[in-house]
Amino acid sequence: MEHRALGRSGLKVSVAGLGCNNFGMRCDEDRSREVIHAALDTGITFFDTARVYGGGKSEEFLGRALKGHRDEVVLATKFGAVAQADDAGGSRRHLLRSVETSLRLLDTDHVDLLQLHRPDPVTPIEETLGALTTLVEHGKVRYVGCSNVTGWMIADADWTARTRNLEPFVTVQNEWSLLNRAIEHEVTGACERYGCSVLPYFPLASGLLTGKVRRGEPVPEDSRLANAWFGSVLTDDNFTKVERLEAWASARGRALTEVALSWLASQPVVGSVIAGATSVEQVRANVAATRTDLTTEEIAEIGALVGR
């Protein structure tokens, strides 16, 4: 398993990570524990969760499953996705309360990476970074990151951190897959410029890039794609792209999942590809498929098949 540094931080993580958004939603605690332990067995060291995943169950399940393994992993969580009308997600008040809850549920005295889950249009970024800096100074957080941001937000946060002597963001977690490449228009460039690693989420487009769902066929009821929100990727255009990718992969003895995950893992700006899993078999398959051996020419060929 290859390991990479996260941006300007001292954290090194496995290039294949585990997204923990299924825990407490699609996986009960027993299944979650099986998935987490399988991830540890395959060499995954990066676990990404969030305060809102599973209504808090994800953090709780993860904390108990990692008992005895805490020092072996890089543990990341997020704050600020859901807040009350008078409690903005990026505010100092919300952040300080949220992290205490996360630490309790994760059963740890610190998190390695704490991320702003989504931009807060109400709270000045200086307030958010100031509160994060306080947490770093108190040893409750090691490094900080953000999610679902634009290029100008990354630049603004970096300028604010430098001019106010605050902790800078070292990671950016945005959606990125061969079927959603919007991040490449400005965010990946901003990450390269300001020293942030990208943590792509939904790298398999909610399962469409596994090839298990075919054009014109019903979606399995237990699939994430059966949900109307996730199922929005089920378009004729996307099916055409998947079919092109499958043909390219088949001609080279590769699986579609391997092409999708390896294409992301082969991007220098990527820190860890955080694919979710609901079974031990999925964890093992995702780890085996997350390779960094694509050539520059192959990366370009794959990108050309889907367009930007």
* Residues annotated as part of the active site: 53
DSSP assignment of 65-124 equals HTTTTGGGSEEEEEE-SS--TTS-TTSHHHHHHHHHHHHHHHT-S-EEEEEE-S--SSS-
Coarse DSSP helix, strand, coil percentages of the chain, rounded to the nearest 5 percent = 45, 15, 35
Rounded Cα distance, 256 and 72, in Å = 31
* Closest C-alpha to 276, from 235, 244, 230: 230
Residues 6+ apart with CB under 8 A from 250: none
DSSP conformational letter for 280: H
DSSP assignment of 174-200 equals -B-BTTB-GGGGTHHHHHHHHT-EE--
* Closest C-alpha to 200, from 255, 118, 265, 257: 265
Residue 236 corresponds to which amino acid?
D
Rounded Cα distance, 255 and 245, in Å = 9
